[in-house]
Structure 1
């Protein structure tokens, strides 16, 4: 009887599973159990799809030998299911070369989006590429962002290579490895958000181009010559927008310009013993922010090798400086690498240090706006995707350009499932796993022994 009951239960469970799958397949309902949400559309994509009011054709070109084409086709079907005005097509570029030529497509992985007379071509068949392509179709007038170059800044066009997890099958998702100190990831994200990103060489004495909506300086290792500084001064005087991301011990001479707007880089290195990333006290971490659009919905962020900032003395009335976040009160600041090595023997002030400031001069949409972060690694390939660093830069860039309505859609890419902890979180985890839990088992064992001994 019991055996028959087990068989009936197993058969019933199998029937339920089959029926659920059949109903889900017929209705188009899917359950995405991946941590990254790789197989479902985000809320941002749903909002963009809801704004479509005329037919849209999405055509994707792939190569059948590339295992990545299957997720792309599934994603296209999801777009079509969510928005009835969307029609999707997919062609193998090797077996349908005439179709590719007619649409001006040369490379596999290209997606062409057409709405009326407007055509948008994106590189990739992922959600970020397609949704941002749709966004650009619905919102004309992208912004132009210039990154300074030629002063030892991080490379805007850093290299990227493709790899797979060892031992995984050929159909598994690839892992893209970026050059650690480059800005390739940041550039790709800005381009996917509809911005035009260019390099800017100011050493020639040429002014900042008139179409510049924002100028970004990241970790200059060389001092800006007078020609470069004068170009930045003139640009800011005309209501320009600047994002300066510095590094410990150096500011590239930008302090001469930034101090005019109330922000003074200290060219030091902050060591935070109170809260930092992993076991590195030179990478302060914070989750406490001044309330501002830049810090909206911002989780924990960290800043490897950051310098501190201070507000300039005798600040003019028309300039408003705001500190957005600081290190903990258990921090020190060293002025040289030699001091860092001798830190334990030095009698340095222990206090909180400001790590990011913004400055506004004037009023209206033409006012000068500057954001300064004491660390440039926060935008580097190695750290951009960790914790809240990417959202910090997205919020900052949107605020500087007055583009708060821009699409903020992080890439849904597969990443190794790492857990990133601050030093305080590591201590708490250590106490729980190596002290509290074993201690509870020990007490339980002693209790059982005591009860049996008295029995």
Structure 2
């Protein structure tokens, strides 16, 4: 009987460990864990009561006292570590130590997640042993918003769920919100964020592109050597951000449609009619938003359209002789900009390039409405100037800076103008305080199919649209490319590392241990 009582203590400890271990794995304290731990405690108490005399005798020994002190110290340290781990698991903090912040979400995505007002769920359909990159990415999304939840489903193990969502291939992720569903097939921050935008926003805002004056065509696609001057890529990118894109012939309308969130005039070759300009002015005065892009002469300048808003369009062609454009085969007629005004549109743009093929310069008028606020959004470098002799430039392709006639850089090629409007009746809402938002570019080619993907051109255009639509958090997100951080070693360096790390250091540690052991034996 005494022999069996000795084993009771071990049984009780084992049952308690099993119960606690099961809880740590599942994070749920169910009936099984409760029964197990209670049984273990009862058996352990019975063991202690049955062996009180032996326990007293054991703890009265001198060796036991020293051993008890060591045990108590170890238990205290273990308890502290367990508590720290418990606190860290409930209040975790992440640090990305990579130089390019490769494993962190962009500021724009984080802003969207922080502003989520509805529940969004992602269901990723991957095999059980796949999808780690997507898992890491979705974990980052969930970390930044309690409104975002995700789940991984193996289509082979749960075919009913896969059939419910119409999944036909591995690696598909379904994003759900407000009863809407979006599917993506790439592990991409941009795709996931755009899908979240689509399912979490109510309705679609409409962006109108004017036509009838030789404007850039949003339906012309890039095919082999044709379509570089079209706006199909820009249209697709806008639609990806949950906007609806339409064409509008203002001459056939009585006013700019009340559902117009952003009006875009992209590089008209001929001037707008007088009644069309009146429509645009009325739209802006009531708190509308417009993106007006003009090109150098002989294209229409629309100077009288933007002049009431304090912006002057210069009759020149901006030339850039910094030599930066030569790095990618561009001449001086394609100025490169790396200087930007402080605005949500150009946040994070410092020291990155945007290019403008045949642009004219702009400036803020000295005399303008005091209620209008301006931002010089894009500026060229100091080695640029505005060539005013257009006949010499176009016909003879000869240029030269003329002091007193041409203006030396930096030159402004994009300006933002805003003005608060007290009485607004746009979009059918009366009496709401709004702000007129106007962006004027001295070039329309920067957003064409041929230039949209050059550096940050596309991002600048999309950010301008989002800002005009009063949704600054809807911006284009450029995915981070993994950096090549490899260290290349010579044969001599490899041999040194081998001898030091694999041979000498381990032998030194073993030798030091043997010396200490021999000294203690003496």
Report the TM-score when normalising by structure 2: 0.56
SS of structure 2 residue aligned to 1:362: strand
Deviations 1:75-113 (A, max 9, x none): 655556665932356989xxx9x988x769999999753
Identify the residue that residue 338 of structure 2 maps to in structure 1.
287
1:298 aligns with 2:360: no
298 and 41 in structure 1: CA distance in 2 versus 1, 3 angstrom threshold: closer
Deviations 1:7-29 (A, max 9, x none): xxxxxxxxxxxxxxxxxxxxxxx
Identify the residue that residue 309 of structure 1 maps to in structure 2.
362
Query: Which one of the candidate residues 462, 475, 492 is aligned to 1:408?
Result: 475
Identify the residue that residue 379 of structure 2 maps to in structure 1.
326
Is the contact between residue 224 and residue 253 of structure 1 (CA under 8 Å) also seen in structure 2? no
Write the mapping of 1:248-263 to structure 2, written as runs, cut at 5 A: 248-250=296-298, 252=300, 254-263=302-311
CA distance, structure 2, for counterparts of residue 147 and residue 409 of structure 1: 20
Is the contact between residue 190 and residue 477 of structure 2 (CA under 8 Å) also seen in structure 1? yes
Query: Which one of the candidate residues 260, 280, 286 is aligned to 1:238?
Result: 286
Write the mapping of 1:151-230 to structure 2, written as runs, cut at 5 A: 151-160=213-222, 179-230=227-278
SS of structure 2 residue aligned to 1:259: helix
CA distance, structure 1, for counterparts of residue 448 and residue 354 of structure 2: 14
Report the TM-score when normalising by structure 1: 0.64
CA distance, structure 2, for counterparts of residue 376 and residue 207 of structure 1: 24
1:386 aligns with 2:454: yes
1:362 aligns with 2:430: no
1:121 aligns with 2:186: no
The alignment of Structure 1 onto Structure 2 pairs a total of residues equal to 357
Write the mapping of 1:34-73 to structure 2, written as runs, cut at 5 A: 56-58=121-123
Is the contact between residue 151 and residue 220 of structure 1 (CA under 8 Å) also seen in structure 2? yes
SS of structure 1 residue aligned to 2:464: helix
CA distance, structure 1, for counterparts of residue 215 and residue 169 of structure 2: 31
Of 287-296 and 231-240, deviating more is: 287-296
Is the contact between residue 387 and residue 401 of structure 2 (CA under 8 Å) also seen in structure 1? no
SS of structure 1 residue aligned to 2:334: strand
Write the mapping of 1:415-426 to structure 2, written as runs, cut at 5 A: none
CA distance, structure 2, for counterparts of residue 355 and residue 192 of structure 1: 27
SS of structure 2 residue aligned to 1:294: helix
109 and 207 in structure 1: CA distance in 2 versus 1, 3 angstrom threshold: farther
SS of structure 1 residue aligned to 2:462: helix
Give 1:248 shift: 1.9
Is the contact between residue 313 and residue 363 of structure 2 (CA under 8 Å) also seen in structure 1? yes
Deviations 1:163-183 (A, max 9, x none): xxxxxxxxxxxxxx9932122
CA distance, structure 1, for counterparts of residue 251 and residue 184 of structure 2: 33
Q: Which has the higher helix share?
A: 2
CA distance, structure 1, for counterparts of residue 166 and residue 249 of structure 2: 33
SS of structure 2 residue aligned to 1:282: coil
Identify the residue that residue 74 of structure 2 maps to in structure 1.
none
Identify the residue that residue 422 of structure 1 maps to in structure 2.
none
Identify the residue that residue 343 of structure 1 maps to in structure 2.
398
Is the contact between residue 248 and residue 374 of structure 1 (CA under 8 Å) also seen in structure 2? yes
Give 1:240 shift: 1.0
310 and 135 in structure 1: CA distance in 2 versus 1, 3 angstrom threshold: closer
Give 1:269 shift: 1.2
Deviations 1:371-390 (A, max 9, x none): 11101111112212222223
CA distance, structure 2, for counterparts of residue 123 and residue 228 of structure 1: 41
Is the contact between residue 286 and residue 421 of structure 2 (CA under 8 Å) also seen in structure 1? no
CA distance, structure 1, for counterparts of residue 108 and residue 226 of structure 2: 26
Is the contact between residue 158 and residue 178 of structure 1 (CA under 8 Å) also seen in structure 2? no
CA distance, structure 2, for counterparts of residue 90 and residue 147 of structure 1: 44
CA distance, structure 1, for counterparts of residue 169 and residue 304 of structure 2: 47
Identify the residue that residue 87 of structure 1 maps to in structure 2.
151
CA distance, structure 2, for counterparts of residue 208 and residue 392 of structure 1: 25
